A and B are shown apart, each in its own frame.
Chain A
């Protein structure tokens, strides 16, 4: 029997989290040591997974299958393809950096790290699921860690509101999708939740057109689609740094990924029918998100809305249903995940030391924390799609696809990128350059742990910008499969 690599990646965080809950609360060293150990092991294994995925062979690999509830057609079915492998790696990287960033959590570190690790299990589980029921099982697993982490360790002023809003939005979204998933299960007549079998179920056109929006939009809520995006900025801002990183960096990709995997791949003709709507909403996401980000004075809200804006590009990429667009969307999910995790980690570092996120009150932090400043600048360059960074190689194909599908979308979306460039430069100038306000003169530099995290995230983005084929070849194999489901379109 093959080594169950995916199960190990999924369950290491869960087991480590359970172990941490059993430790005495005052053993801080054990707690964070275990968390870091689990996160290191996970990132290592997901890197091994990334290297050993065989792109020329393509298809689902590392497949594990065990019966779960045979009488209902539910199985424990794991497997990854060219689209999900990078996302597993992304989750591994963000989890690892999240643990590093949270090294000095004072308030109940035991519960903090345990819940953080449970959240990681949830996202790994979704990315690796080849069974629809199991996908929901892992998807919903995220509900309580998200909520409890935001309200307990979040930003005191908005955490109760932001946490509840985020949890309810995402829960109702997933419930709507679940309704669609049940319809797919009963409608297929195949009596199985196996995604590979359901891909071949051959639903009627009417069925696909009717149920596609239900499934897609339910998941797309988590992807931050307009007009259901408003949980994202509020939730991200209310969350503690590590959770903002995972929420914006990974969880939003979970939503987009599930929308692709379930809605687009199982109901391709429905996707073709509704593509115009997603294209339109995605464009609104890009422009509207960027415009709102522009006028924010709260450092973290800027990043929160920038996530909404960038997720729009993923949605546009999906909606083009073309080779370039899907490839770009797949790469953008990875690139944006790393970038936004970096942004949120730096915002967290600044806030922890300056005790304010109000942009007018910040300034001149380049001298105080050069690593953070450089990291933010690199993130900014990625964000505005500068060549040589991962943002370019991800966004360029999206625009190519969009141009083919509907030129006006590409034109308007590029406008969004210009606005992005504007607000990123503004923020960089106001926060990291200029005069240092007197209150900030004693701000200390960031810790070694923080620097490791920033270094890792920056290296990933630059490395990918210089060698895009490291990622694109793999994503391409996954995209080819989606295209074959779309009828070779």
Chain B
């Protein structure tokens, strides 16, 4: 038994390390003087990197998927890959935050972010509805505070409040869905639940009802339409690095849960009508409305953070296409998409942070002349926007081709077609931003944009990642497919 126990401890070693890191950051915050606290961002980032190393060294699922801690967690490749994604997101966000005014000196900010990352880790591995709910709340509560972190800024406070209200509401609905599932089957263990549902004793209608209720909660996390209303306001009001974190890491966590729960409960079935078909129809519908609403509303935005918010709603729609395909290819491409999207959008919000600090505005017009003020930064923005638009040689291209490919493979050609149409709409507004950056002039063309080393490092890492993911596909796709294989 002791060997088992050791393995169980090792499996959650990264989470334990996260907790230790959180404690270290909080203690340092107490004992260090204000000047030294500037280093907290670096410490958080370095800590996250160490934890990545720890996970690779000690907590890799070598013997295939296992249920641990009494069936509360499932330790598999999906857990592992998503953990890497979350930790990378946290490390980069810490770097972007560490030069942001009003965040640099606040140890509690980094502590909150680490707690939320811990929650995401658990979300990705939770195999029990109760555990899942606790993980979601651990993540969310920390995020609510982070969104409202600028207590002197009315917009930030407002966005925190809005986020809480929406979050509380949707998680209540989700919880109701959980309770229905429990009532029908008598278990909260996701995999047992899946087996029971497969027996066909629960009526299809009841299953569909439960899925829809649960999807409300998941839809909120991934900001899919119609659960997206919070996103633009929250992104606009919250500190920019937090908006980046919300739109990437938190969204990835939502997808991790969505993929695991849905595949466990509704594996693809040949019979018709089957719950998995209903699931495909529901998710495909969500995908279509998310893409259209996100992209069409993004067309009208004049504030870059709101534009990115709507674009990220649309991006959730594209990823949902991969989920709707309900196949190994669909899931692997969705995971690949999440990796690509994480790096791309973190970089995009990073650039918004950087420009915002110098220019003091997030309006699109503030980006006029950026290519003259700072050619490197303009080029970085170009890379991000094209990657979001799905243009090679950047990460988004491969990701997009394969989520659409998965739809074609599953016979959802119409869904892929709508996806392509949306890519074109999206390309339009990404190009409009590039036009402002490259063509328009401002009176401050000659003033360069300040770039502290920390930001430079973070940005270079992101951009290099976007290019690497966009040219050397094989290792990353391999990782994504191993995550997908663990779920099926």
Contact = CB atoms under 8 A, between A and B. Distances in A.
B180 interface: no
Contact of A148 (B375, B401, B438): B438
A136 B423 CA distance: 15
Interface in B377-399: 379, 382, 386, 391-393, 397
A452 to B, nearest CB: 31
Contacts of A172: 420-421, 424
A136 B401 contact: yes
A72 B477 contact: yes
A71 B379 contact: no
A129 B424 CA distance: 25
Nearest to A218: B420
A167 B392 contact: no
Determine the main DSSP class of A at the interface with B: helix
Contacts of B134: none
B371 A175 contact: no
A176 B404 CA distance: 12
A71 B477 contact: yes
Contacts of A25: 375
B408 A160 contact: no
B36 interface: no
B391 A160 contact: no
A172 B477 CA distance: 26
A110 B372 CA distance: 12
A219 to B, nearest CB: 14
Contacts of B69: none
B393 A137 contact: yes
Interface residues of B, number: 35
B435 interface: yes
Interface string B347-389: 0000000000000000000000001100100010010001000
B408 A140 contact: no
Contacts of B405: 182, 185-186
Interface in B36-75: none
B199 interface: no
A446 interface: no
Nearest to A121: B393
Interface in B390-431: 391-393, 397, 401-402, 404-405, 408-409, 413, 416-417, 420-421, 423-424, 427-428, 431
B265 to A, nearest CB: 27
A164 B477 CA distance: 33
Given A71-B481, A168-B424, A182-B416, A140 B371 contact: no
Nearest to A133: B401
B478 interface: yes
Given A167-B427, A182-B416, A185-B405, A160 B477 contact: no
Nearest to B391: A143
Contacts of B488: none
A50 interface: no
Contacts of B402: 72
Nearest to A143: B391
A63 interface: no
Interface in A182-240: 182-183, 185-186
A175 B423 CA distance: 8
A183 B477 CA distance: 21
B404 A182 contact: yes
Contacts of A182: 401, 404-405, 408, 416
Contacts of A183: 408, 413
B434 interface: yes
Contacts of A71: 474, 477-478, 481
Interface in B151-209: none
A147 B435 CA distance: 9
A489 B446 CA distance: 65
B434 A179 contact: no
Given A137-B392, A178-B401, A186-B409, A148 B474 contact: no
A144 B382 contact: yes
Contacts of B477: 69, 71-72
A68 interface: yes
A158 interface: no
Shortest Cβ-Cβ A-B pairs, 5 listed: A175-B420, A182-B408, A172-B424, A69-B473, A182-B405
29 contacts: A68-B474, A69-B474, A71-B478, A72-B402, A72-B477, A108-B371, A108-B372, A136-B392, A140-B392, A140-B397, A143-B386, A143-B391, A143-B427, A144-B382, A144-B386, A144-B391, A147-B434, A151-B438, A167-B427, A168-B428, A171-B423, A171-B424, A172-B420, A175-B420, A176-B420, A179-B416, A182-B401, A182-B408, A186-B408
Interface of B: 371-372, 375, 379, 382, 386, 391-393, 397, 401-402, 404-405, 408-409, 413, 416-417, 420-421, 423-424, 427-428, 431, 434-435, 438-439, 473-474, 477-478, 481
